[in-house]
Structure 1
Amino acid sequence: MNGRTVLESFPAGGPRGSWPAEEFAQARRSEGLPAEVVMDLATDMFLVIVRSGDVADATA
């Protein structure tokens, strides 16, 4: 296990000037969830994740 929960994934080839993964992560952060965006090079996708310890802290 890699210690993260994937909330959503977005293709890396989005429209120019569009950052859907960052926008989604920001919306989750405004809800109190410490979401972050990482790149999965194997699938060429941006993943919005929460690290395992952060999920428990945010929902407690």
Structure 2
Amino acid sequence: MTHALVLKTFPAGSPRGSWPAEEFAARVREHGRGAEVVMDLAADAFLAVETSPFAPSDTSGHEAPALGAVA
């Protein structure tokens, strides 16, 4: 299972579809943070999630190695 920080949710039944979520993610990226839009099928919603070049830590607090790092 992949974990991501959900910045904001948008109903999929909106007349404009994913546009509001895409516009929100674009504003977040303008401020120097990574963001993308994904679909949550179970909740029938678009999610604006924060993206990061590093994997989030697991529940025991061990950090995953950075991309390209040798363990």
Q: What TM-score, normalized to structure 1? A: 0.75
Please tell me the residue identity of whatever aligns with 1:25: A
Q: Distance in 2 between matches of 1:31 and 1:19?
A: 19
Q: Which 5+ residue runs of structure 1 have no aligned equivalent?
A: 55-60
Query: Contact 2:12–2:18 (CA<8 Å) still a contact in 1?
Result: no
The structure richer in helix per residue is 1
Q: Distance in 2 between matches of 1:18 and 1:2?
A: 21
Q: How many residues align?
A: 55
Q: Are 1:28 and 2:17 an aligned pair?
A: no
The percent of aligned pairs where both chains have the same amino acid is 59
- Correspondence 1:1-60 to 2 at 5 A: 2-16=2-16, 19-51=19-51, 53=54
Q: Which moved more, 1:17-26 or 1:31-40?
A: 17-26
Cα distance, 1:17–1:45 mapped onto 2, change above 3 Å = closer
Alpha carbon RMSD of aligned pairs, Å? 2.5
- Which structure has the bigger radius of gyration? 2
Match of 2:60 in 1: none
The structure richer in strand per residue is 1
- Greater length-normalized contact order (CA 8 Å, ≥ 6 residues apart): 1
Moved runs in structure 1, 4+ residues, more than 4 A?
A: none
Please tell me the residue identity of whatever aligns with 1:45: A
Q: What TM-score, normalized to structure 2? A: 0.65
